[in-house]
Structures are given as structure tokens and as C-alpha cells.
Structure 1
């Protein structure tokens, strides 16, 4: 649509007439508008206003009215002045371009020459000269740097004037120029702050002080180059900067009758950087390597600190210490000129040590240390008896003292020995670790009685396993031990104790080899210690894979297995290659990974095991179970099966069975008590479907029935073992049990225990044992070994495939976060509520758990304000940023021919969205918690086939059990704490049967709790993800600090 002509004329008493011609889709229309001031008084168009009333503007009239308003705004608007910043941009870009043109003909090859000035306080500074044949002093370094940055011209004299840039300088000086620019800019930044506070006048910057760190950088740039240096007397000389070591000349000669004088030439000077020392010797300025500098640092700092005299004197009695502690360190880096002195005569006697061990009585181990310097010997406890004439190796003695005190806490004053008495831990530690350290420090002597106390290596272990009628019998033997000895050691095994004390007094290591593996196995299997003492180890067959895994990976162990055990393990590890046939009617329907799931269940059932089918939502857990039930019915037509699921899924299961296995008898338990009782009394072979709620009411009617398979769908319903529902499902008699769930762990590790307690009672021990062995170590201590053991135990009985694992068989989905920004009123309401809740949390008595209802109410209010303030404030008439964003997203999706699922936790929000959609002329379906089950099925079927573009769904009511693959866009209006439930909602459309790529949009209000929730969801790595790759976020798991951070 476009305007081909538009003109304005005065019509009547100041009223204007606007005449316009509009071209639209090849048709021409004449439009008239009548305007007075800014008010539109009338309008007409030559088009036929189909479906519109006379007083409603058509699209052509609206188009012209908007175009005329824009034109008037331009004509009548205030005069515009170019801002100063724009003028500056124009000028600076122009100057830069002109400077570049000028520099193309400018001089090149300018040299930048530094000059190093030594300071009396040990500091250094830099001046610079510039030029080619003739050089000039740079009088203002700040002006110089600005010229280089801006390309402006500076005149230094008659022979040197040019526009500055880095390219003006010779190539080897450009890094130096960049270094200078950085230093000046840092200086100016700090000086500018100081100048503003003190009103100091800016002076020319001729000289720059070098920090220790910048000295290292400067000399790195100057390596191998000539440098002019001005000494403390003001004399200048050209020096060569070099890294090669130049030995520093040191003179040592006699001083007086009992002393020595050490001297370094006064012309030698030095200063340090952060990692290096720089020493001037003759015409060379040496840059010492960091390792050399570390050795010479103390010597140079003391010898060169007095610029007038580099001479120091040492008394003869201190020379041995000076020789040992100083001269030996600096000799490799100096050139010694020794006169009239034999330095070797000052070499001190070497420290020697001996350690004598004895065991004068049972449970006692003593040690007598002796230190020696030449012919003089003493014990460390006689420290005060050492004459001053002995030059002692203080660091060496301290090192010995540290080792002694590490292993010995007591001493016998009478025998002057150190001792360990009745302390097996201390004695084992000394023998296993300490002896190696004492052998490094000196000579070690052991009496015959002490030699008898030794640490024996762990023995080789042999394990034989026999499978028999649902049990595994273990026979364990250790090399060199009687059966009684070995069983006694295992019965008293403590994983925190790395040894076992034998009757002989020897220590047997238990922290390596086969003993560790067997001890870990006994601990992991929770073998009864009383049975262990009798030499009997018998565990249920469902421990087979755990047993096989631990023994195979253990070192120092020989593992023998009978044929039945091998067959069990082989069958569990090669499910894909099993011989279980797929029922003929379902072969074309099942995907390959679904066939594997069916065979996995069949394999578990063959060994009387249960399992958790934990496939990602939408991967078809239902049809895998139907395949199992159909196959069993074809084998044994009299078989009966029980499926327990949420009430909302009962009819869904019935429909899926009738759809994929019409030959399979199926009945649902529904209605009042009498109707249910009638069904249960008459039910025969086939599938019986009931809900968790009805099962716990009717559990007494199931007592006499036995089912071939019992299936729990959405098994997280029994995550709390104390509930009546969890107790009821365990009361049902069934040969094999399976659990289906996309989230086996939502919040706590105990939820996994509850499901396994249903599947195979005792599999994860009692709950108190599970808590002690797994839950507390993993949750509280982050114990990786406990986590790995839990994976070993449960892994074979959990089959979980994620969408990315079967990507070739599923279309991918795209996820996008769409942010909204609240308007002023909505923002003010949010901030006020957030501040109030923050204060309440800070001032709360008690912990988060005690106040969770109050906290949850406050957080919910904040989330509702994010969705739409009208959810909290009945008289609110302002805008809702997120609702506006959502409607735009919906309109764009519909325009592109898409169907949409929209989820929200708040039913009241869905109603507001529905009102807005009605206003926009968009049809919709809506499903909430109050929707009857039959209506729920009807709505899902209608949406799959009709033209209604959007389905509004309550997150809790529709997060599970629906198959809505006709949609290819999912909108999450508000983020929920439980991201696993949110992902389940998305999977209503991204599941089997979807042929399009699915796009998921998460609507987030910026700078609010919603953004914090999203961030927590992304960062939180909890138990579900570690154990079985799930994801969840629980309010009760947040600390006070995390809650306050949510609100910040």
C-alpha cells in the first residue's frame, strides 16, 4: 500500500481537508480526511468497507491519517541544532583522514632513544630523545603521546618537524614507542584524579619513573641494544644491555687480626625489577635470569645499598656461617679474588644424623636420634649443650626436627629416647611412611626386636562365584592365610583403617591390592558379619553385575565364575543381541531403540529382576511396555497385568493399548466403589489399569490376585515411601515389576531408593543403610566413590535414553529465551514486593524449611507480578510487558502457519491470555486442573486434527500424559522451580510421531526472580543429573543466601 498523491487545504472555520490517492494491490482509492487542530473530525474512502460499520475507519483511511500525522510532525517540529559531540566526531575523523594523507609524504625512519637515570633512593626513570641525524630531547612526553595517537604535528627544531604516528619510527623502536604511550596514559589517568582534588597545575612531563614491574618490561624491549645511562654523579655512558651472565667481581681479603673483608667495586651498581636484578659492570648492563636473581637478591641488595662504599667486614668466628649460608649460594655467579685467606679452612663440619630404633616391650617402639658435627655428637634434646664454636646447620637440624615431631609425640627422660606406646595407628604410620623419610635424613639402625615389627604387603586373593536359584555363593581365600584368619580380618574390616595388626605384632596392609577389592565388595554388598565369620557369603542374584564389575576392575585378585554366572552377566550386557522376538504386529511400528527397550525388559524378567525404564519424555515408554505385555499374552494367554498410573493417564493407556495391541484384553478401574468392586471381581486375563488414588482405596480387593507384570507409570508418584500410595503398590502380588518415569529423581536421592524398594525389595538395603552408605556421603560430602558405587549397583536396572541418543530417529527442537522489560508501574510494584520479601527473609526466625510456606507465598507473588500485575492487584489497569510479548509471539507463529502449545503454572494467567486472544480474534483450546478426564482426551484429539492454532495448558494438569504432536511451537509463559516438569511439558509435542522441528520459547521478565530461576536451572548440578542425567531445582534445597540472591 502506498500514497500516490496527498494535499491539504482549508475547509471550514479552520478545519483542514486532506485529499489523498492510495494504491493497494493494483486498485486505486480516494480518501478524504477532515482535521481540526489535532482532532480527526471525519473521514471517507471510495472502497467498500466489507464487514465494517460506517463509523469504523478502513485500512486506507488509517494509513493516510498516520502518514499525514508524520508529515505534520516534521513540518511543525522544533528546529534541530547539531550537538557538540557530533561536531567533534566530524572534526576528528576529518583530521585523522587529512593526517593520513599528510603522512603518506611524511618523513620516516625516526629514532626514539631512551635515557636511563639512576636515583639515589634506588629508583630509576626514563627520558627520551628523538631524531635521525640530529636528536632532540622530548620535553613533554604527554604531548608526544597525544601527537602519535591523533596524528598531529610537533616541531622539535629547524631540522625536525613532522606529523606523528607509529609508522614514523624505525621498526625496532615501535614497541618502545607503544610501551611509552601506555606508561604516559596510565600516569595521566592517575594524575588527572589527583589534579582535580588538589587543583595542581599541569606541568610538562619530561621524565617518567619506572616501577619494578615496568623495569622488567623495559629491559625486555632493550635486550641486545645500546642504552645511555646517567649515574648518581650525573655522568652519562653508553652501555650494552645483555642477558648473558657476567660474573660479578668480588674481593675477599684479611681485615685486622681476626676478621675478613669482602668488597665489590664502587663502580658496579644494581637495581631490581619484580623478577630480575640488573647490574652495571663496565660498559655492560646485565639482566640476570629470574633463578639467578633469586639466589643473588639478598647479597646484591645488602652489598650495593650504600652507593659510596661496597665493603663489609666479617669476624673470623662468623666466617663458617657466612661460607655455608652465603658464599656457597653466590659462588656460581661471581668471580672471587681471594687474598691471603684459605676459604676451605672456614668450611663447617657437615651435619650427620643417625636414628636407632628398638622395641623394649610389647606395644612400644623407641627411637634415639644422634646429630654429629665432625667428632662432636649430641641429641636434639641436648640443644643447650652444643658449644658456640660449632657451626650448626640450622635448616638441616630444623628439617630433622620436623620429621621427628611428625611421628613421635612423647619422650622418655630417663633413657633419653623418643617413643610410641600403645598406639597402633602411630606405629603403622611410622613404619609405612616415616622410615623412608628417616633413611633420607641419615643412618637408620634397627634392633632385632624392632625388626619384628614390620608392615607386610597385602596378600593375593582368590574369589570363586557360583550362581544358584536366584542367589550367588562366594568363596574367598587369601594366599598365606588360613580361612579363619582371613575371615576374621574381613569381619573386623574398617574402611578408614589401612592395616590389620596380627598377633605377631606385624601390620598387614589393607589399603591396596585384592584386600581393598574384597573389603569394598563385602562393604558394598552389606554381607552379614556373623555369616562372614563362618566363611559364608551369599547374596541375591541381582548383585551379579555389581559383583562382576568390582572384581574385574580390582587389582591383586583372581576371579573364577561358573557358567550360569557368566550367562547371567553376558545376557545383561548384550541386550541388543538377545533372541527375544518382537510381536509381528508391532515390528513395523517400533523404532530400533524401542526394540532394545523391550528386549532389556525381557532380559531382566528372565532373571526375575525388575527395572526402571527412564527414557526421556516422548521416546515411547508406553509402546515398549505394550510390546512386553502383548508378547507375554501370546506366550501365556492366561497372564494378567496391572498398570498403575496417575488418574489423568488411565484412559490414555487404554487408548494406546487398543490402538497398538487391539488383541490384548484391557479394562479400566473407574467409577464408585461398587462399580470398581464389580470390575475387580469379574476381571480375567489381560491388562487392568487403575490410578494410584484408587489403588490405595481398593488394595484389599487385590489381595487374592497375582499379576505376571506390575507396571508403574510416572513412578515418581511413589517417591515418598511413607505415603499410602507407595505402600499400596508394594502390597500387590506380582512376579516382575517395572517402573516408568522420565524423572526418577526430582528432588532427593531417597526417591530412587523408594522406587527400587518397590521393584526389588532390599536391593538398595534398608533406608537407614542407604542413607548412611549413599545419600549422606553423596549429598553432604560429595563422595565420588559412593556415587560410583551407586551407579554400579543401579546402572544395569535403569535404562535411560535421551533424545540426543536417538537423534536420527527424532527431529530436533530449538530452545530460545525471550526477555521482556517491565514498564515503570509494573517495575515499581515488583521492586516494592521484592524488597518487602527480602526484609522478611532477613528478619525471619528459624530456618528456611520452617518458613517455607511464607517464603513460597512471597516468591509466588513476585512471579505473578512478572506474569501480569493484575493477578495480584484487582484494580490494576496498566500494561503487562510479558503479555504483550507473548501475544506478538503468538501472532507471528500463526502467521507462519504454526500450531502452538502455551504452558503456565497459573490458571488465572491462562484466563487473562484467553481474554486477550479473544480480543485479538484468535481461537484457542484451554485445559486446566478442573477439566474432566473425558474432556481432556477430547480436547487433545480435537487439537491434533482441527484448525485451532493454540492450546492453553496448565503446567500441572497437562505436563504429562498428552500426545500433541501437531504443535511445533512450545511457549513456557513462566519458569517453574522444577525444570524437569517444565521439560516434560515441552515433550507433549516433541515426542514420537513428530515430523517437524520443534521450537521452544521461554518467556522471562528481565531483572526479576524469573531470570534468577533460569540462571539457577542452568547452573544447578544436582543428584538426578549425576546419577541418571535428570535435572531439577527444589525451593527447599535453597539456602537463605541463595534465596536473597534470587531477589537481588
Structure 2
């Protein structure tokens, strides 16, 4: 509803007349109301309800609300500008003016640092000027002037606007530092005084913190700076990053020594280094120099007595008792720097005795460990933990003693009273820690002695596991060996490993480390192969040959050593690894037809079949999976025929078994046509007709000799399910299932029927092995090689839940490693370089009027149901029903509301798009999941004079085939297809435009539909349009599809969205930003 026009007239006594034109859907109504106060006392409207006595109509109420909003807006008091805002405007204006004036300054202004270096302190002043330098008397006022662009006068001819551009470029880094320090002082000053508005102090100099000292040094390095010492002497110093070389002099003084340094030295610290000034230089010192000299210089400056004839030195005295310790802790480092001068002193007699440590370990039982530690300086020995008096004349290495004490108490917590030794008793974990970690650390700081009993308390490295594999009779014979551990104890070792323990205590008392080694591989092998306890203890097992790749991967990546591999096993692994490059002769009838990548697929299937393995041919839609299977079967039966004709004896001359192809009903005849076209020499039987007719077909096939009967039998999933009894007891050479995603639910009768068939080799064809869940991949492999992915319960625990719920990369890698050799997938973009481009576009429509109201009301109702927990309760079916209705409203409300007469925004967009495309000569495929929607589209197209074909689930097979063939050559520009009826098995390359009228939960199904046109034979660029109703569930469904795509793409496929798997939160997200 929209107010097109509104006028207001005021009468006496406050009465108001409001007149307006109101657009409601496609009609415009003339409405008039009379208001007194805030109430309507009279009204009229041209709508059906406008003159009733039941009260104002909806148009009159809408006009009243519009008038009220207008009145409120007109009587809102004006907003006054805050004083702070006016201050901002004035300040920013002044700054801009000052900047302009500053840029007019012809000569730049220079800013120079001036340092007052005191004992451990640095004060920063500034000098400013061009040729002449002026003292900046108040650095805080200077900083404020720069921020505001204020003009400041320093002397005759020295006045300028203080903007950064007025300063010389080489002065600006120092300007930035000065401003930061001044601003920090101002903030601190105001915080301390609570913003009381007091004037700032006059600060000629600012004290620099340690970080600012480092930053200033970096700015001044290699330059000269004016300094002033604490006596007021001014000097110019050169700033250098190097260590000073002044001497530290030591001479005898009575029974002690005197240490002197030049009195001109002044030092201070930054965050990163020590700085030393000597009157001519300001040195930034190295890390070693800082560590060695920092404290020494600070103390010499603080307490040193000036001496010498001109007071040119500073000295401190050291008594005889402290000389050894002073030398060890202080002077020895200076000696290493080469600055210690002591020609009269023989330091050897002062050099302290080195600390020596000894750790004696003993044990009376496997659960006990005792330690007796001793420390010694020369001939004096003592316990580091005993309360003994150490003579003062011994110069003790306190840091080393402290480290040893900490080391001991880290591993030993208890005293043994009777012996005074430290002891671990009955604590296996503490014992393991000492033996595995502590011993090495004790050895680093002293001598370690072990008694014979302790030597037997060893920590062994994790065990190495190796295996032997041989091939025989279609099975792999596996042998497992673990050096030094018998199989019975190895089972317990593995149990401890699975409990995440660090070690296993062997029966002889030794510790076996469990991290690293081959235990991880052994654990995986045991679980993956399902080895029984008896097999594990025996170290031998028979496993299916399809585990060859898995065993090879264990040895190939170094997780487990291979001590034996027979020739047959090695040959099989090599063949399977090179399955795509092994050379098999292509049947002559197909030599010129098969593309190179199709020959690779044919070779891959032949190699797997040679070893009676199965596989998934998962090529992208339109890459000719059917043709590759035809090549496989043609080669097999031609070779059998040639062997029989040559009269060869042996297994090769046996009568070949027929092969069975199972596919959707809509593809049975298509398979027959493809055999007739590409390999007419193969005898093919299409199972069709009534139950009696199908029974007769199969019985006739059984009566005929293999040389006369059909070589390939083709039936549908539905018919196989009905005729399953007729197939039991028979064996086929190959069983091929097409569109294998049909058996994605392993519990269905169709899935059970194909798995009951006996065949020497099985292959599955599908472009989407995973549509919704990983369980679908399991079901397909359960058909190909039962047990390969274990039971579904084990598969779910080991792979599905970790990958889907926890995004476990290790589980994903393990699954890909397991299934990879048996899945061959190629994409069009990788193998069909000549295929034209495909462009995808999203076309949005916006609902309005009644369609918008219906959607809003339905969406709110569903959101309330979800918020009330309907998705997790008994209301799940109702939620699904409401979701379906929402999506139908997006398509066209007439799908679910019989009396709906309004427009459908998407339908009109769609018809306009088709009209433009058909007028330009394009042929169009349009897919929808709603057959009734296709009928409505067809009616609208007829109104526009556009003809179309219509294919839905109820379309007979013969009519379906006729329309597909006709579309390639007739004048009909549009093919309307229901998503499920035409998503697979059709070749419609005459079309170059694909329209998806409504998005489906499963993007893989949409992609299959698109590939009806974008496949081999397509010569024109293909454009795919997805029609989306803006601000609805459809728009958010696109986001959900993109979020769900990643997982399936990682495993093997390309689409993975399942309505049944959505959580309540994900369903709620479909309504985000929507009413």
C-alpha cells in the first residue's frame, strides 16, 4: 500500500480534512478523512469498504497514520549544535588555515635536540631556528602550538605558524618524538589533577623514559648532538653504536684492591641497551657490554670517590675477603671484554674453586630410586640439602647451587629419614620422569653414578613395528613383528597406548616409551583391519586383497617397516598404482571414438577388474561414463570370442558369463541405443514389459548358450527389485550400476537388490557419490566391495562423525587414502579443453503487494514454530510442510493458494528472460522441482506466443525419447523439465541457456541438470541463470549451499546439502534479514 498524493485543509475549531490517493496492489483509491484532535470523526473511500458503517477502512487508517507522521515531523524542535562541535569546527578550520600559511614559508625551520645527561637520567630540551637557534622555553606550549597551527614569535624575524610542514624534513622525526613525549606528559598531568582546568606548568625540559631514549638514539645515530653534564659543562658528542674502550684499572691497596674508571663517564639505560657518554661520544652499547658493565657503571657513578690530581678518576675499594667473589662475578667479564688493566695483580690466587656436583643413584627394588647428591669446592664437600656450615673463605657459586637445588627438588620430593638420602618409592610416574628426562639434566650439571640395580631400570625407545605381506588365492597374508616384545605383552602395550599413556612398565621393570615409533601405525592397522585378539597375538592374519593399497601406504610413508613382500603382492600394488597408465588395447570399433581421458578410465576399470576389485567412475557429468563402460564390456567379450575361436584351452576359453547393467528406468533405452551406436556387435537384452514377459525373457536367456544369449542385460532398479528372485543363484561377469546415487540409502529395497547380485567385478557410475551424507559413499562401497569400509556403525564412528561434526583433517585424510585408489573422478574443466565456457548468473526478483504479504505472514509463522522447538519435536513434518509452502510462494503463490489472483514477481521475470532469449535465437532448458509450476510457465509462454516441450515424471518413456530427439532439430525454443524427471540421462546440447527456476536443497542435483546441456557435443557457450526472490528463504539457501559444498568437494564430490541434516540454528539462519 502506497500514499501517492496527500493534501491537508484546516477548518475552524481545530478540524482538519485530509484527502489522498492510495495505491493498493494494482488499484488507486480516493480517500478522505476528517480529524478532530487525534480521532477520525468522518471518512469516505472509493473502495468496497469505504462507505460501510463498520468503521474506517484500511485506506482511511493508512491516510491517518501518514498525516500523524507528517505532523510529528513538522513539530519536532530544531536541534542546536553542541559547544564542543562548534569548537571542533573552529579548531579544524584554524588548522587548515595554518597549514596553508605554513606552506607559504619559504625557508624551513630546524628543530634540534639538546640533552642534559645526569646520573641515570636524561632530560630533553629543544632549540629552534633557521640560521640562529632559539631555546624553546616551554615544550608543552610548543606542542599545543603545533597541534593548533598557532603562530609563535621567538625573536626578531623568527615567527611562523607551527604546522608540521613548516619544519625541515630532517627535523620532523625529532618533532614527532617531542610531540609524543609532551602529549604524554599533558595527559598524565591532567589525569593526576582530575581535569580541574589548572594551567599547565612551564616545562623547558622533559625527562625521557627508557623507550624514548632508544628511539632518540636511533634518530641521532651517526650525527652530533649538544649535551650538558651534571656540572653544567656543555659538549658536542658524536652518537655511535659501539662499545666504549675506556680502561677499568685495578691496583693493590693494602690487603685489598682499588678499582678506578674515568670520572668523565656518565651512563644511563634504555629498554634495549646501555648508553655511555665520555664527553666526546655517546655510545649505544652491545647486549654483552650492557650485561657486563651496566650495574658496574651505575654503582661507580653513584658511590665512587673522585681521585687523581685533577679528580679525573672515580674509585671503589674491595676488601681481601671479597676479592675472589668480586673477580668471579664482575671483573672476569671485563677481562673477557679486554678492558681490565691490572698489571700488579695475580688473579690466579684469587680465582675461586669451581663447583663440582656428584649424583649417586641406587635402588633396592624396581619401584624405588634413591639419590645421594654432593657438592664440592676443592677438598670441601657437602650436601646441597643438608644444613651444614660452609666456611666463609669459600667463594660459593650461588646461582649454580640454586639451579642444582631446584633440579633435585623438581624430581625428588621426599626424604628417607634413616639415610638422609632422597627417595622415590611406589610412585611409578615420578620414577619414569627421572629416568626419561631427569638423568640427562643431572648429567649436564655434574657427575652421575648409577648402581647396577639402577642400570636395569632402563627407558626403552618406542617399539618399531614391521610387517610382511604376500598374495595368495585372492587374499593377503599379513605378518606383524615387533622386536623385543612378545605378541601377548604387545596387546597390553597397545591398550596403554590407546589410553594416551606416556609409557608402559615391562614385566622386567623396564619402561617402554609409547610416543613415536610404530605404535600409532599398529593401532591404526589393528582398528582398520579389524584384527581379532587371536590374530593379533599370533601375529598373522588373512585379509581381503583390496587392503593392498592401505598396507602399501603404511610402508610407503614410513609409518611401518616392510620386512617381506612377495612378487605377486608387489606386482599387484604396482599395477594398481599405475592403473591409469597401464596399456590395454582399445576395441577397434571404439579406437577413434574414445577420447584420451576415456581410454584412461577404460584402462583403470580393466586393471581393477583383473584383481576382482570394484570402483566408482565419478567423472563429471557429460564426460562419457557410459561410453567407457561400453569399451570395458566390448573388450572383455571380444577377447573371450577371439580366445574361443582360437581354441585356446584353460580359463581363458571358458564360456563368458553375461554382464548386468542396472540404471534408472528412464535410461534403460538410452543404454540400449548407446550400445547399438558404438558397439553393435555386443548382444544386448533390455528387460521390459509385464512381470510375465520379463520372466520369459530371463528364462529364455538362461536356456540359451553363452555364445547365443545376450552378453549384456540391462534393467532398471525398480524392475530388479521386483524380479530379484529370478536373478538369485546366477553369477554375472560384471555388475554395473548407473546413477549409483540411487542406492545412497543402504536400507532401501533397491540398494539391497543390487547388492544381492553375484558378480566377478562391480562398478558404480555417478557424478555425485556424495549428495547429502558420507553414509552414501559407504553404501556405494558396500555394493562394490562389502566390508571395505567396514560396517556402517564402525564407518560412522571412525570417519563420518569426526569429519562432519568435528572437521577432523586426519580422519578426512585417512578416508581419502582408503577410497582414493578406487575412485576415478575427472572434471570437464580439466579434460575438455575444447568445451566452451559456462557462465553462471543470479537473477533477482522482488516480491510486492499480496505476494509479499503472504510470504511475510508465512515466514513469521514458521519462525515462531522453530523458536518454539518444532524442529526437534513431533512438529517436524509440519515444519517441512511450511518450508515447502514458503518456497512455493516464492515461485508463485497460486501453487498453494487457489484463489490467488495477484502477480508472481519471479514468473514475470522468467517470462521476460525467456522472451528475450528466444527472440535472439537461443534454445532454453528450464528446470523446476514443481511440475505444477512448469504448467503455469507453459501457460504464460503460450500467452506470449512461445511454444515449449514439457517433461515431468508422468511422461511416458517413448514420449520422453521423442521430445529429446525433436528438441535437437525443431523450432521449439524452450524445454520445461522437472528436476527429478530430467536431472539425469538426457543429452540436450542443442540448448545454450539453462534456467533454474527455484533453488533445490541439493546443489549437486542442480548441477546434474545443468550438465544436460553442458557436456560433450556442446559447441556454444552456456549461460546458467538461477532465479532468486530477493530477501527470502531462497537467497539464504544459496549461502547455505556454498557453506555445505566444501566437505563433499574434499572427499570426492561437489554438492552436500540435506534438509534432513539441518540443525534448528541452520534453519533459523534461512530467515536472517527476512521478515
How far 1:582 sits from its partner (Å)? 2.0
Q: Quote the Cα distance in structure 1 between the aligned partners of 2:854 and 2:279.
A: 77
When residues 183 and 462 of structure 1 are mapped into structure 2, their CA distance, relative to the original with a 3 A threshold, is: closer
What does the per-residue CA deviation read over 1:14-35, in whole Å, with 9 as the maximum and x for residues that have no partner? Answer: xxxxxxxxxxxxxxxxxxxxxx
Cross-structure match for 2:241: 243
Contact 2:120 2:267 in 1 (8 A): no
Distance 1:868 1:396 in 2: 85
Match of 1:1027 in 2: 1051
Change (3 A) 1:627 1:450: same
Distance between the aligned counterparts of 2:406 and 2:908, measured in 1? 72
Following superposition of structure 1 onto structure 2, how do residues 116-131 of structure 1 map, counting pairs within 5 Å?
A: 129-131=128-130
**Is this contact kept in 2: 1:270–1:304, CA < 8 A?**
no
Kindly tell me: are residues 259 and 156 of structure 1, through their superposed partners in 2, closer, same or farther at Cα, counting changes over 3 Å?
closer
CA apart distance, 1:919: 6.4
Matched, 1:996 2:1028: no
- For 2:125 and 2:900, the matched residues in 1 are separated by 69
- Which aligned pairs between 1:48-197 and structure 2 lie closer than 5 A? 107=106, 111-113=110-112, 129-132=128-131, 159=157, 172-173=170-171
For 2:790, the equivalent position in structure 1 comes to: 765
Q: How do 1:111-510 and structure 2 match up within 5 A?
A: 111-113=110-112, 129-132=128-131, 159=157, 172-173=170-171, 219-227=217-225, 240-246=238-244, 268=266, 270=268, 272=270, 282=279, 284-287=281-284, 353-370=357-374, 382=385, 414-415=418-419, 430-456=434-460, 464-475=468-479, 486-488=486-488, 491-492=491-492, 494=494, 495-496=497-498, 504-506=508-510
Alpha-carbon displacement from aligned partner over 1:367-410 (angstroms, at most 9, x marks no partner): 44556677776767x57778898998787677657766766677
Q: Is the 8 A contact 1:428 1:507 kept in 2?
A: yes
Residues 1:99 and 1:409: Cα distance change in structure 2 (over 3 Å): closer
Answering whether residue 726 of structure 2 is matched by residue 727 of structure 1, we say no
Question: Once the two structures are superposed, what CA deviation does each residue of 1:346-379 show, in whole Å capped at 9, x if it has no partner?
Answer: 9998765443333312454444455667777676
Instruction: From the superposition, tell whether residues 593 and 282 of structure 1 become closer, same or farther in structure 2 (CA, over 3 Å).
Output: same
3-state DSSP of counterpart to 1:644? strand
Deviations 1:901-933 (A, max 9, x none): 444556676667667656666555554555555
**Aligned position for 2:659:** 641
Measured at CA, do residues 119 and 447 of structure 1 come closer, stay the same or move farther in structure 2, by a change above 3 Å? closer
| Aligned with residue 679 of structure 2, among 661, 665, 679 | 661
Is this contact kept in 1: 2:119–2:301, CA < 8 A? Answer: no
The secondary structure found in structure 2 opposite 1:808 is coil
Given the superposition, is the C-alpha separation of residues 716 and 162 from structure 1 closer, same or farther in structure 2, using an over 3 Å criterion? same
1:871–1:909 contact (8 Å) kept in structure 2: yes
- Structure 1 residue matching 2:712: 3-state secondary structure: strand
Contact in 2 for aligned 1:979/1:1032 (Cα 8 Å): yes
Q: TM-score, normalised by structure 2?
A: 0.69
Equivalences for 1:490-569 in 2 at 5 Å? 491-492=491-492, 494=494, 495-496=497-498, 504-506=508-510, 521=525, 524-534=528-538, 536-554=540-558, 557=561, 559-569=563-573
Shift of 1:623: 1.5
Provide closer, same or farther for how the CA distance between residues 183 and 814 of structure 1 changes in structure 2, counting only shifts above 3 A.
farther
SS in structure 2 at match of 1:945:
coil
- Asked if the contact 1:551/1:559 (under 8 Å) is kept, the reply is no
**In structure 2, C-alpha distance between the alignment counterparts of 1:862 and 1:189, rounded to whole Å:** 60
Q: Quick check: 1:608 aligned with 2:612?
A: yes
Q: How many residue pairs were aligned? A: 941
Say which of 826, 829, 837 aligns to 1:801. Answer: 826
SS of 1:221's partner is: helix
Q: What's the CA shift for 1:708?
A: 1.8
- CA offsets 1:509-567 (integer angstroms, 9 cap, x no match): 67666787667555543333313444533222222233333234437845443332233
| 1:123–1:271 Cα contact (<8 Å) kept | no
Pick from 736, 755, 771 the counterpart of residue 711 of structure 1. Answer: 736
1:962 aligns with 2:986: yes
More divergent stretch after superposition (989-998 vs 971-980)? 971-980
Contact 1:749 1:1023 in 2 (8 A): no
Q: How does 1:842-881 map to 2 (within 5 A)?
A: 844=869
2-structure distance, mates of 1:670, 1:779: 41
- Between 243-252 and 314-323, the greater mean CA deviation after superposition: 314-323
Answer whether contact 1:849 1:1036 (CA < 8 A) is retained. Answer: no
What CA distance in whole angstroms lies between the structure 2 residues aligned with 1:848 and 1:598? 48
Which residue does the alignment assign to 1:47?
A: none
Q: Distance in 2 between matches of 1:982 and 1:605?
A: 32
Contact 1:546 1:792 in 2 (8 A): yes
Question: 2-side partners of 1:205 and 1:871: how far apart?
Answer: 83
3-state DSSP class of the match of 1:467? Answer: strand
**Distance change (3 Å), C-alpha of 1:678 and 1:451:** same
How has the CA–CA distance of structure 1 residues 435 and 202 changed in structure 2, closer, same or farther, with 3 Å as cutoff? closer
**Which structure 2 segments of 5+ residues have no match?**
1-88, 307-313, 642-655, 702-708
Deviations 1:330-356 (A, max 9, x none): 999998999x99999999987654433
Measure how far apart 1:597 and its partner are: 1.0
- The residue correspondences of 1:921-940 to structure 2 (distance < 5 A) are 923-928=947-952, 933-940=957-964
Distance 1:540 1:235, change over 3 A: same
CA distance in 1, matches of 2:1023, 2:213: 58
- Structure 1 residue 225: Cα displacement: 3.0
- Show CA shifts across 1:760-815 (max 9, x none): 12223333444454445555666555544433432222212223431435444344
Question: Are 1:746 and 2:767 an aligned pair?
Answer: no
Cα shift at 1:591:
0.8
Change (3 A) 1:370 1:259: same
| Separation (CA, whole Å) in 1 of partners of 2:184 and 2:847 | 41
Deviations 1:106-143 (A, max 9, x none): 84665444567999998977867353566796976677
Q: 1:1016 to 1:262 in 2, by over 3 A?
A: farther
Change (3 A) 1:118 1:509: closer
Distance 1:115 1:995, change over 3 A: farther
Q: Which residue of 2 aligns with 1:628?
A: 632
2:464·2:482 contact (CA, 8 Å) conserved in 1?
A: yes
CA 1:543/1:831 → structure 2, altered by over 3 Å: closer, same or farther?
A: same
Structure 2 equivalent of residue 7 of structure 1: none
Please report how far the alpha carbon of residue 703 of structure 1 lies from its aligned counterpart in structure 2 after TM superposition. Answer: 1.5
Q: Is the 8 A contact 1:778 1:784 kept in 2?
A: yes
Is the 1:745–1:1024 Cα contact (8 Å) retained in structure 2?
A: yes
